Structure formats: structure tokens, C-alpha cells
Amino acid sequence: MTTTIRLRRNGPYVIDTDDVRVVDWNGAEYQTARKPVALCRCGASARKPFCDGSHARVGFRAEEAGGAADEGECPAGHEPGADG
């Protein structure tokens, strides 16, 4: 099954599946009552890693759109699955 992660314009990442677990760097799972899950990408949420709507209050802008090729590399050099 393919999981779709939608980037909301000027908003969170929304994970469109009922079968998702969000875990911290220790593997501890967050309790997620709401589906779909919306993850903060603006940094302003008081409920990180989840979106609490603060992106609108702080005027977060992220209007990048899909379609461009990307290697998916983290600019900070983090490896997928690595701590931090």
C-alpha cells in the first residue's frame, strides 16, 4: 500500500492513512486520536510534532510544489532512521 503525504500550502504535512504510527527518537509512540495525522513543518506548534494551526498565526509560507526531481537528502546530513 502506498502512503500519501500531502504538503498543505503554507501548512502541515498531512499523512493520508489510518495506519500510521508517529514515534520519537527512542521509538516511543505518540497517541494520535485524529486521522489523518498532520505534522508541523513551520516550527511554531505548541503540540509538536503535530500541527496545532499556529502556521496561520505566524504567517508560515511554503508554497513549493511537487514535480521537481529531488534526491531526498537532508541538507544537515541526517540519514533516514538516524537519531536527531
Residues that bind ligand FES (CB under 6 A): 11-12, 40-42, 44-45, 51-55
Q: What angle do CA 40, 43, 49 make, to 5 degrees?
A: 40
Distance separating alpha carbons of residues 81 and 36, to the nearest angstrom: 22
Q: Shortest distance, CB of residue 32 to ligand FES, whole angstroms?
A: 15
Q: Which is nearer to ligand FES, 2 or 54 (CB)?
A: 54
Q: Which is nearer to ligand FES, 15 or 51 (CB)?
A: 51
Q: Shortest distance, CB of residue 42 to ligand FES, whole angstroms?
A: 3
Start-to-end C-alpha separation, the chain: 28
